Amino acid sequence: MIQFDKQTNTLTLHTAHTSYQMKVDEKGVLLHTYYGKRLRKGDLSRLICHEDRGFSPNPYEAGTDRTYSLDTLPQEYSTCNVGDFRPTSLEADFADGSVAVDWRYVTHHILHGKYTIPGQPSFYDEGLTAETLEMVLKDAHTGLEVTLLYGILEELDLITRAVRVHNGGETPVALTRVMSLCLDFPAGKRDYITLGGAYAREREPVRAHLTQGTHSVGSVRGTSSHQSNPFVVVCDPDTNEDHGSCWGAALVYSGNHLIEVTGTQFDETRLIMGIHPFHFRWQLEPGDTFHTPEVAMVYSHQGLTDLSQKFHRGIRLNLCRGTWKDERRPILINNWEATYFQFDADKIVSIAQTASQVGVEMMVMDDGWFGKRNDDFAGLGDWNVNEHKLPGGLAPLAERINALGMKFGLWVEPEMVNEDSDLYRAHPDWALQIPGRKPTRGRSQLVLDLTRAEVREYIKDNLRRTLNSANIVYIKWDMNRSLTDVWSMGLPAQRQGELYHRYVLGVYEILEMLHQEFPHILIEGCSGGGGRFDCGMLYYSPQFWCSDNTDALDRLRIQYGTSFCYPCSAVGAHVSAVPNHQTGRETPMHTRGVVATGGTFGYELDLNKLSQDDLDEVAGQIAQFKEDWEVVMRGDYYRLTNPFEPGYYQAWMHVSQEKDVALVSVVMGETHANPIRPLLYLKGLNPQEDYELDGQVYGGDELMSGGLALPVQKEHGAVQYKLTRV
């Protein structure tokens, strides 16, 4: 619900439990006055103190009033080079060489329903009460105009923001920085949390106390990256899982991004988020409009768990789309770690035969099925079936898999090309590379120039042909390198700064084609595992391969960090072989299964190499997951421990929306002589109800306040408890 108070010129955006307020002041500056717990009424601009601050200049229209300065006012979209020295929301080069932008209010519109962004992903309002606020601001000198878009998804406690930039002047403008979000906080001590990491160590939470100055993280790799996820939390220093104020922001975008958290000279905080300005330069001709990606915001006064759960519900129900968005995904087995490139049709079928006997529902054939793809050095770009490995093509193999009662899926990497390929020999200019320079390789491959329509059409045509050639119901869309040598034959020199963003728009265009033309197909995103795990990709692929690192103990950390923003229904998690291919570590089959139940669940190994005991364990895992999937996929997720801190065990739990079923998962740490018997305190149960566990009945309040005594387990052993309300 959006309320406009004409007397105070305030606009207040209400969700079920939060309020967000802005005010147009007497000089037309749009001030940010509040974002927090829901309010009944009030003009919170009364909290803004006007003082004469040294070296904080004053707008000309302020006259002799030295207490009014843009440098000290909280703004909805910050200005540039007109007196505010904090990070700017937008920077532009104008025809006269100037860069100043001074935003002033023009008008606003309140609309029913949630806005959309042309050619880009965004949250949608299906099944919700939703409104859009359009706030139009203009720089009077240049004619440049921004429309700040606010989407209010009331029941989800979620507010989205995006920006339309319109050149209303008479000369071209070069945008060099366009942020989607500017959020100013009042004075106070704060922490911030980002998700860092590396390949095979994705989304490691990094919490720091905010000091004076600008603290930034981001990606210039062309993707959201393994190293910096486009998600951030600003919180009070004492905020923990269960209490305290916290504000989360997730960028719905899959390319270069920037997150800046600034502690000001007056102990205030400014959060800036959007497309990274590195090598960004968007030419805006008179009359042209540029659309930024969307940011989704959530506030909670009940700690990080509640914040995460609100993101989980919003992403699962109103960002993911299609047939599979809220359904149980087929339990699959992927042959990559079982065979790598060394397979043929009979080998795939042999794995599938054993898999079908223990309850696996889908066989996925990974890299190596096309062209001369026998290693990393050749074949990418040539999407013709390698009939030496697969006689007759994909259809006969799919029929053999289907005859076992299983579905058939396929790995693809459409964005890439090898130099040793028919495609590259025919069209070397279709790869990103700078004339006169030798290209930089990643995984022995180059990146196709998706800014060019002919390249996108080539990829679409090949995907259509492949998917229509056999009964394929799943594709794993991979992307195995960062962008370098960023230059396109299809763009003039003055538009090369548009390439990074146009590349991402090209990816979205192809994925949207798949969504429209093949709605029955489940797409799992992948980028060397979790290198493009973001809200932008989840709009097209409702699950993402969480990490190439399938080691169960490492996955405890990766899945923990992922859970700060992303729901378990989006997490691709598999049981793999031991010794683990990434770490060499051996963990029990049961433990690997318990960890994988924190996601969509599947297998990444050759079941033919397992003992009968392990096969029996696999059959039991699959049967149990089929029974428990709804509480895992649709329930509320609780982090009970932090795997980055020392502990006797690591634990998490899922609780159904009705609080009638809970699944508690525990993995033990190192074992020592004369062990300590720790207690596990549960969360999320109804304290007024009783729950049955292994034939015993306990009160919900008893389990949360008194705890559960854990049995002694072998090192890295695991246990799961299922609680049912009686």
Residue 219, token pair as written in the block: 């990606």
Residue 696, token pair as written in the block: 């015993």
For 423-438, write each residue's pLDDT tens digit.
999 999 999 999 999 9
For 333: left if phi > 0, alpha if psi spans -120 to 50, otherwise beta; the answer is: beta
- Spell out the residues 6+ positions from residue 301 whose beta carbon is closer than 8 angstroms to its own: 36, 37, 244, 245
DSSP 274-328: EE--TT--EEE-TT-EEEPPEEEEEEESB-HHHHHHHHHHHHHHHTS-STTTTSP
pLDDT at 678 over 90: no
- Spell out the residues 6+ positions from residue 478 whose beta carbon is closer than 8 angstroms to its own: 367, 411, 412, 413, 526, 527, 528, 545
In angstroms, rounded to a whole number, what is the distance separating the alpha carbons of residues 561 and 197?
10
Residue 651, token pair as written in the block: 């634990």
**Mind listing the domains of the chain with CATH numbers?**
2-318 (2.70.98.60), 332-635 (3.20.20.70), 649-725 (2.60.40.1180)
- Identify any residues that bridge with 215 across adjacent strands, giving them in sequence order: 261
Work out the pLDDT band at 481, boundaries 50, 70, 90. Answer: very high
In angstroms, rounded to a whole number, what is the distance separating the alpha carbons of residues 32 and 186?
10
Average pLDDT over residues 260-273: 97
In angstroms, rounded to a whole number, what is the distance separating the alpha carbons of residues 97 and 474?
52
Contact (CB, 8 A) for 70 and 89: no
* Active centre residues (catalytic): 478, 548
Residue 436: strand, helix, or coil: coil
Average pLDDT over residues 519-526: 97
What is the structure's pLDDT at 49? 87
Average pLDDT over residues 135-156: 97
What is the structure's pLDDT at 177? 98
Contact (CB, 8 A) for 409 and 362: yes
Q: Tell me, what DSSP letter sits at residue 542? A: S
Average pLDDT over residues 506-515: 98
Work out the pLDDT band at 237, boundaries 50, 70, 90. Answer: very high
What is the structure's pLDDT at 674? 85
pLDDT at 677 over 90: no
Contact (CB, 8 A) for 86 and 270: yes
pLDDT at 170 over 90: yes
In degrees to the nearest 10, what's the CA dihedral of 248, 252, 257, 262? -20
Hunting for tokens 């139009």 — which residue is that?
Answer: 136
Contact (CB, 8 A) for 55 and 11: no
Q: Of all residues in the chain, what percent carry a pLDDT higher than 70?
A: 100
What is the structure's pLDDT at 676? 82
Q: Is 677 exposed, middle or buried (0-12, 13-18, 19+ CB in 10 A)?
A: exposed
- Identify any residues that bridge with 378 across adjacent strands, giving them in sequence order: 420
Average pLDDT over residues 700-726: 94
SS percent in the chain: helix, strand, coil, step 5 = 20, 30, 45
- Angle at alpha carbon of residue 47, lines to 46 and 53, rounded to 5°: 110
For 46: left if phi > 0, alpha if psi spans -120 to 50, otherwise beta; the answer is: alpha
Contact (CB, 8 A) for 247 and 465: no
Work out the pLDDT band at 404, boundaries 50, 70, 90. Answer: very high
- Identify any residues that bridge with 722 across adjacent strands, giving them in sequence order: 663
Dihedral of CA 222/225/227/228: which sign?
positive
For 264: left if phi > 0, alpha if psi spans -120 to 50, otherwise beta; the answer is: beta
For 277-333, write each residue's pLDDT tens digit.
999 999 999 999 999 999 999 999 999 999 999 999 999 999 999 999 999 999 999
Predicted TM-score (pTM) of the model is: 0.97
Average pLDDT over residues 632-653: 96
In angstroms, rounded to a whole number, what is the distance separating the alpha carbons of residues 726 and 705?
19
pLDDT at 389 over 90: yes
Average pLDDT over residues 414-426: 98
In angstroms, rounded to a whole number, what is the distance separating the alpha carbons of residues 257 and 276?
4
Work out the pLDDT band at 712, boundaries 50, 70, 90. Answer: confident
Work out the pLDDT band at 632, boundaries 50, 70, 90. Answer: very high
In angstroms, rounded to a whole number, what is the distance separating the alpha carbons of residues 567 and 637?
8
Average pLDDT over residues 106-130: 97
- CA 447 to chain centroid: 22
Residue 168, token pair as written in the block: 């209303």
Dihedral of CA 108/113/114/119: which sign?
negative
Residue 166, token pair as written in the block: 């319109």
Q: What are phi and psi of 497, to 5 degrees?
A: -70, -5
For 569-585, write each residue's pLDDT tens digit.
999 999 999 999 999 99
Average pLDDT over residues 214-229: 98
Residue 365: strand, helix, or coil: strand
Q: What are phi and psi of 515, to 5 degrees?
A: -60, -40
Q: Tell me, what DSSP letter sits at residue 448? A: B
Residue 562: strand, helix, or coil: helix
In angstroms, rounded to a whole number, what is the distance separating the alpha carbons of residues 128 and 592?
38
What is the structure's pLDDT at 672? 86
- Give the Cβ contact number of residue 423 at 10 Å: 22
In angstroms, rounded to a whole number, what is the distance separating the alpha carbons of residues 237 and 246?
10
pLDDT at 671 over 90: no
- Spell out the residues 6+ positions from residue 221 whose beta carbon is closer than 8 angstroms to its own: 227, 256, 482, 483
In degrees to the nearest 10, what's the CA dihedral of 623, 655, 571, 668? -80
In angstroms, rounded to a whole number, what is the distance separating the alpha carbons of residues 182 and 86?
11
For 590-616, write each residue's pLDDT tens digit.
999 999 999 999 999 999 999 999 999
Using DSSP bridges, classify how beta strands 636-639 and 130-138 pair: parallel, antiparallel or unpaired. Answer: unpaired
Contact (CB, 8 A) for 633 and 568: yes
Dihedral of CA 230/598/588/577: which sign?
negative
Average pLDDT over residues 209-237: 98
Average pLDDT, the chain: 97
Work out the pLDDT band at 13, boundaries 50, 70, 90. Answer: very high
What is the structure's pLDDT at 673? 86
In angstroms, rounded to a whole number, what is the distance separating the alpha carbons of residues 25 and 74?
11
